[in-house]
Amino acid sequence: MALKDLMVLLDPSERSSRRLALAAALARRHGAHLTGLCLAEAVRPIDPVALTADGYAYGGSLKAFLDQLAAERTRAIAPVEAAFREQLVRDGIEGEWILGEGPPGPASLARARLADLLIAGQDPPGRDESAYAAPLEDLLLDSGRPLLLIPYYGSFPTCGESILIGWTETREAARAVHDAMPLLISAGSVTVLAIDAPHDETGPREVPTADIARHLARHGVKAVAAETVSGPISTADALLNYASDIGADLIVIGGYGHSRVREIVLGGVTRSLLRHMTVPILFSH
């Protein structure tokens, strides 16, 4: 499947412009349509501390407060929309702007299911206090689409030139490789890494990722099969360290979770990567 329909979540935060630039670069590289989605309900430009147990205590009517809140949202979103439209013209790509209404989760999920790839930003520190927190866990577990997540810290002039695949013998990992195939085919280098993989001591010794590397080769992807052990650090840290060692600018990995058991929504590696990622990561569930 080609990447022909990309969607990027945008907001009035400082990191949004870098996310837009990366999304536009991917759209230009793959000849894709780019949709900019801004969730109105996730934008809270003024402090709504006016509500009390008895009702409204803003110093005016409830309607006046809601009208002012809507006006402030409009002023906060206007430059985001302008920047998106300017980026389309500057890069010569097709696209559309959508202002999502309603609760952030349902609004983003409905749109995300129409895209080949969803691009969003990592939650900033103190997600609960953030005015622009995106429902990343819902997007990963319930959208049915791959999620390209951009770290909150750092600058990423390239994404997808050197790709590291975190491979395990699971459905999610296989799905991630398939979803990332357009990026893998166009990458300059691809490494398939197994961490702490079990070995059959009775048979001939082969790198655990050799089979998936051969599969990728049949698609025209020249992948290096590799393995490592986590040792005293976590699997997530071992993956991030390996990415740093080889200069990878994108990690591809299956996103593990249990959408029906919200108390343990995400697996430990997935949750750790969501919190501590250092390079863009394509998650697929």
Q: Which residue has the tokens 């622009």?
A: 132
Query: Token pair for residue 41?
Result: 């309900």
Condensed to tens digits (0 to 9), the pLDDT of residues 139-166 reads 777 777 899 999 999 989 899 999 999 9
pLDDT given for residue 209 in this prediction: 94
* Average pLDDT of span 184-208: 83
At 174, the pLDDT band (50, 70, 90 cuts) reads: very high
Quote the pLDDT of residue 73: 81
Taking a C-beta distance cutoff of 8 angstroms, is the pair 285, 138 a contact? Answer: no
The model's pTM: 0.84
- pLDDT value of position 112: 78
Could you tell me which of 182, 183, 175, 195 has the C-alpha nearest to residue 242?
A: 195
Q: How many Cβ atoms from other residues are within 10 Å of residue 65's Cβ?
A: 18
Please identify which residue in the block is written with the tokens 């999304």. 23
- Whether residue 1 is predicted with pLDDT greater than 60 in this model: the reply is yes
Q: Which two tokens stand for residue 58?
A: 């803003």
Amino acid identity of residue 142, one-letter, is D
- Lowest-pLDDT range of 155-164, 194-203, 238-247: 194-203
Q: 5-150 in CATH: which number?
A: 3.40.50.620
Looking only at the bridges linking them, the beta strands covering 162-166 and 189-195 are: parallel
| pLDDT for position 199 | 67
Quick one: pLDDT band at residue 126, thresholds 50, 70, 90? low
Q: Over 70: is that where the pLDDT of 131 sits?
A: no
- DSSP E strands in 196-266: the ranges are 223-228, 250-254
| Closest to 37 in 3D by CA, of 25, 19, 60 | 19
Under 8 Å between Cβ of 18 and 152: no
What is the structure's pLDDT at 133?
46
Centre a 10 Å sphere on the Cβ of residue 141 and count the other Cβ atoms it contains.
Answer: 22
Higher-confidence residue: 262 or 47?
A: 47
Residue 105: predicted pLDDT = 62
Both tokens of residue 156?
Answer: 């990423």
The predicted model gives 67-74 an average pLDDT of 78
Query: Sign of dihedral through CA atoms 255, 257, 259, 265?
Result: negative
Burial of 192 (0-12, 13-18, 19+ CB in 10 A): buried
If you average pLDDT over residues 236-256, what whole number do you get?
93
Instruction: Give the end-to-end CA distance of the chain in Å, rounded to a whole number.
Output: 17
How many CB atoms sit inside 10 A of residue 89's CB?
Answer: 9
Give the pLDDT score at 162: 98
Determine whether domain 162-284 maps to CATH 3.40.50.620: yes
Whether 128 has a pLDDT exceeding 70, the answer reads no
Q: Which residues of the chain are in CATH 3.40.50.620 domains?
A: 5-150, 162-284
| Residues 201, 237 contacting (CB under 8 angstroms) | no
Closest alpha carbon to 159 in 38, 36, 277, 12: 277
Q: At what angle do helices 62-91 and 16-30 cross, to 10 degrees?
A: 40
pLDDT: which is higher, 190 or 259: 190
**How far is 114 from 145, CA to CA, in rounded Å?**
9
